[in-house]
Homo-oligomer: A and B are copies of this chain.
Amino acid sequence: MKKLVLGSLSAVLLASSMTATAMDAEDAIQFRQAGYKFMAWNMAKIKAMAIDESVEWNPAQVQAAANSIAATANSGMGALFIPGTEQNVGDTKTRVKPEMFTDIEGVTEVGMAFHKAATELAAAAETGDKAAIAKAFGATGQSCKGCHDKFRKD
């Protein structure tokens, strides 16, 4: 629960403290996109093993992927949504909707759902139970979609 609270706080409140490092808006967009892209790879690995069964089942690899997703989800990515990053910056394009910077209640809701799902996916992966992992994977995917539908342009 401690991590969930930290995640939620980071999504909403830490931006101000991080701007003290004078992070460049373009860097901030690229860092957050890197985090999402790396999670996409790890999600794809779990999907291939637990859902599609196109890659041989390997509990250690599933656990490593789930740990990476959970750690990324709990890394305080909210701090990367600094003012100025609600739009394209230079050659760096973003699909974020400006509403993500104003709908604090909505952001908190999807953020909490994602942190919870990712943390539960890592816990399921630790058991090695394929059915439980598949279920937690589905819930994590839904939590990703929850944010995409609300705060990401097509």
Interface of A with B (CB < 8 Å)? 2-3, 6, 10, 14, 17-18, 20-21, 30-31, 33-35, 37-38, 40-42, 44-45, 48, 54-56, 60-61, 64-65, 67-68, 70-72, 74-76, 80
Contact B42 A38 (CB under 8 A): no
Known: A10-B64, A21-B54. 20 other contacts (CB 8 A): A6-B64, A17-B55, A17-B56, A21-B55, A30-B37, A31-B38, A31-B41, A33-B34, A34-B41, A35-B41, A38-B38, A38-B72, A61-B76, A64-B71, A64-B75, A65-B76, A67-B71, A68-B74, A71-B72, A72-B72
The residue on B at minimum CB distance from A22 is: B54
